[in-house]
Amino acid sequence: MLLWEVGGQLATPAMAAADGAKPVPKPPAHVRCKNFGCNQYFDPTRPECTQCVHHKSPPVFHETAKYWACCPDRKAYDWDEFMKIPGCQRGVHSQEEPKKKFLGGCDIREENAPKRLDDDIPIDPRKKLDKLRAGLQLIGVEEGDFDRAWGRLAARHGDLGIVVNKLGEALTDALRTMQEEGVNTPD
Ligand SMILES: [Zn+2]
Ligand SMILES: [Zn+2]
Question: Along the 187 residues of the chain, how does pLDDT read in single tens digits?
Answer: 444 444 444 444 444 444 555 666 666 788 889 999 988 899 989 889 999 999 998 888 887 888 999 999 999 988 888 988 999 999 999 988 776 545 555 444 444 444 444 444 445 788 888 888 888 888 998 888 888 888 888 888 878 888 888 898 888 888 888 777 766 555 5
Q: Are residues 88 and 136 in the same domain?
A: no
What one-letter code names the amino acid at 157? Answer: H
Q: Hey, how many other C-beta atoms are within 10 angstroms of the C-beta on 33?
A: 22
Q: Are residues 32 and 73 in the same domain?
A: yes
Residue 18 lies in a domain: no
Please give the tally of structural domains in the chain: 2
Q: Are residues 68 and 132 in the same domain?
A: no
Around ion ligand 1, residues with a beta carbon closer than 5 Å are: 55, 68, 70-71, 88
Q: Are residues 132 and 98 in the same domain?
A: no
Residue 160 lies in a domain: yes
Residue 76 Cα to ligand 1 midpoint, Å, equals 13
Q: Which domain holds residue 68?
A: 28-116
Predicted local distance difference test score (pLDDT) of residue 125: 81
Task: Give the domain-ending residue among 75, 93, 116.
Answer: 116
Q: Are residues 65 and 140 in the same domain?
A: no
Residue 112 Cα to ligand 2 midpoint, Å, equals 29
Residue 94 lies in a domain: yes
67 contacts 76 by C-beta, under 8 angstroms = yes
Q: Hey, how many other C-beta atoms are within 10 angstroms of the C-beta on 93?
A: 25
Q: At what angle do helices 124-138 and 160-184 cross, to 10 degrees?
A: 30
